[in-house]
Amino acid sequence: MSLHTTTMLRWRVAVVGRGRLGTALAEALDRAGNEVMVVPGYPSPNRAAMTVGCAAVVLAVRDDAIEACGRALAEEGALDGTHALLHCAGSRPAETLAGFPAEGRALCHPLTSIAPDAGPDVFSGVTFAIQGDAAGRMHAERIARAVGGVPVVLDRAGLPLYHAGAVMASNYLAVLLAAGARLLVAAGFPDEAVARRALGPLVRATLDNALHLGPAAALTGPIARGDLETVSLHLGAMQGLPDLDALYRVLGEATSVLAPALDREARSALLAQLKRRT
């Protein structure tokens, strides 16, 4: 079924997958005036008819499901070599699609997290990592721009580092929030939900400062100012929480390297304190 009913046909695209990403991408492309076919990610005899006349077929399925999905589509006749074939898995290169008939192949990965209640502008200003052959990249860039995104073309060799960077900035941020909340609960907060709400304004302000001023300029706290006494106090209090103690030490070392105000002597003293086990 086509989502597009109100504007003139400009481009026909099939989006395979009805998860958060597939649904959001299909809706955004439709709002941009394209005819969008929302195709189920599971094998279906109807999928071949749904991709007829499509300029591009986009696999918005799990990373580990791309090859199985492409194989099933090919077997069903949904891929006949007249479409560009794209996928949205940032950890997989376009060459993952090499075994399937296509006019061009590309990765088209939006660098964002899709919430269940994502709004209409979920891709506005979002960077899309693009990698693949010339024909595939052309379609991927068109999709990115159609939904308000910013395409950035990468080489295959850079994809693992790109994806690792995305994981560190996204998933590890959530892990740090969880760690901070656990420490607040250990300090006496009633539960982690209350602790997360308490940390919210601090986290948002820190993120805003890091994005606008740069990470180094956004640093505050005892490590950034070389306060050995406070760092020692923290480490002593976390002796019964070995996993959080280890996380604090590793991130403290990284912070001491990044902190611009520390001279060599202060940085060396902090690193020695963080490496010392009592």
Question: What's the number of domains the chain is made of?
Answer: 2
Same domain? 169 vs 146: no
Same domain? 142 vs 172: no
- Does 262 fall in a domain? yes
Same domain? 141 vs 173: no
Task: Say which amino acid occupies 225.
Answer: R
Structural domain of 137: 12-154
Question: What distance in Å separates the CA atoms of residue 220 and residue 210, rounded to the nearest whole number?
Answer: 11
The predicted structure's pLDDT at residue 1? 38
How many degrees, rounded to 5, is the angle at CA 190 between CA 184 and CA 191?
70
Q: Which residues of 159-171 are buried (b: 16+ CB within 10 A; e: fewer)?
A: beebbeebeeeee
Helix (H, G, I), strand (E, B) or coil at 129: strand
Same domain? 138 vs 173: no
The pairing of beta strand 127-132 with beta strand 104-110: antiparallel
- Does 4 fall in a domain? no
Rounded to 5 degrees, φ, ψ at 261 are -85, -10
Q: Tokens 């481009």, residue? A: 11
The residue out of 131, 154, 177 marking a domain boundary is: 154
The residue out of 124, 154, 184 marking a domain boundary is: 154
User: Could you read off the pLDDT tens digit of each residue along the chain, which spans 278 residues?
Assistant: 334 333 334 789 999 998 999 999 999 999 999 999 999 988 888 899 999 999 999 999 999 999 999 999 999 999 999 999 999 999 899 999 999 999 999 999 999 988 888 777 899 999 999 999 999 999 999 999 999 999 999 999 999 999 999 999 999 999 999 999 999 999 999 999 999 999 999 999 999 999 999 999 999 999 999 999 999 999 999 999 999 999 999 999 999 999 998 999 999 999 999 998 76
The predicted structure's pLDDT at residue 278? 60
Token pair listed for 12: 């026909």
The predicted structure's pLDDT at residue 7? 37
- Does 259 fall in a domain? yes
- Does 6 fall in a domain? no
- Does 5 fall in a domain? no
